Structure 1
């Protein structure tokens, strides 16, 4: 069995870095005791960032979250973009990249690329699914496709981190 050398962490650095987490826990406890930040989990309006109960009976019992890092692009699976087909092999509109830091693409000529495949509408819902997935298309009315996620990040890695964590900073 091979052993990989791990970087030695200094005791002081460990205590310094971990103190932030422990300090936050202690501070919230102290503030609660002082009455400055009462925690009332039973108050429904306490958690302002959570969703309220839906206005219809819930049918779903489970959610399957597919995070296909390195998999097919959304433009090849469930997100048909007819405008990309019209822009295929043409210079990428500057409005798409305005203000973005394109580290790997400095001074490169950017061209738009349309989908490699075709899309068809499926089911009563009319969900457009890539023709690469004919069996998934048959289940279209049983799917929930979320197309409302967006970010200002144009680089895949930071956009992926933002999608999963809400922050572009990793770690």
Structure 2
């Protein structure tokens, strides 16, 4: 015999709605309380960024021909790709194919007092090298486009995690709650938007 009380669907939905409303109210009150506190935690150093514009140019110029020289890859140009770099990887449509290493087709030049290496294809960018911050320490073991894009934008290869926009909003805050904290513009090609990639821009 079932000892649990019987709950009708309508009653369940009604109670659930109250729970969601209380959770939302609690969140709003917590934000107001936090804003009213004068001794809020301070960052390690004062921030200067007011806004962030993040351009994810899938299908744009390769980093290996723009801002990220790969001298070791250039050394093995036109040679079979080392098995040590592909063993254990999910190669998807490349499975069983003969993989040939391709180095950069252009040269890199050192620019500015910092000696920042930038492709000769972008001399105008090179002229302001000392005003740029280029991060080359990021890496991933994902070699296929979609999981690599998801990892870059959300920190996970699983779709649906919080995107970079929501993390920036979390870190910088918003000037007003009357407007969205971060806005996403997505481009569409001849075949419309990519449903997989479109899930990379949400709040999770």
In the superposition, the TM-score normalised over structure 2's length comes to 0.57
Matching residue of 2:112 = 123
* Unaligned residue ranges in structure 1 (runs of 5+): 1-18, 46-51
Structure 1 residues 138 and 54: CA distance shift in structure 2, 3 A: farther
Rounded Cα–Cα distance in structure 2 between residues aligned with 1:163 and 1:68: 12
What are the Cα deviations for residues 6-59 of structure 1, in whole angstroms up to 9, with x where unaligned? Answer: xxxxxxxxxxxxx9xx99x839939x79xxxx88857967xxxxxx7354x655
Q: Does 1:139 align with 2:119?
A: no
Rounded Cα–Cα distance in structure 1 between residues aligned with 2:123 and 2:101: 26
Rounded Cα–Cα distance in structure 2 between residues aligned with 1:95 and 1:132: 32
- Secondary structure of 1:141's aligned partner: helix
Alignment of 1:48-87 (within 5 A): 53-55=43-45, 58=47, 62-87=51-76
Matching residue of 1:93 = 82
8 Å Cα contact 1:97-1:154 kept in structure 2: no
Matched length: 138
Rounded Cα–Cα distance in structure 2 between residues aligned with 1:74 and 1:28: 48
Backbone CA RMSD of aligned residues? 3.1
Which of 148, 155, 167 is matched with 1:166 structurally? 155
Q: Does 1:113 align with 2:91?
A: no
8 Å Cα contact 1:87-1:114 kept in structure 2: yes
Rounded Cα–Cα distance in structure 2 between residues aligned with 1:142 and 1:109: 42
Which of 11, 19, 26 is matched with 2:20 structurally? 26
Matching residue of 2:143 = 154
Structure 1 residues 119 and 64: CA distance shift in structure 2, 3 A: farther
Matching residue of 1:15 = none
Matching residue of 1:8 = none
Rounded Cα–Cα distance in structure 2 between residues aligned with 1:68 and 1:81: 20
- Secondary structure of 1:120's aligned partner: strand
* Unaligned residue ranges in structure 2 (runs of 5+): 1-12, 160-195, 200-204
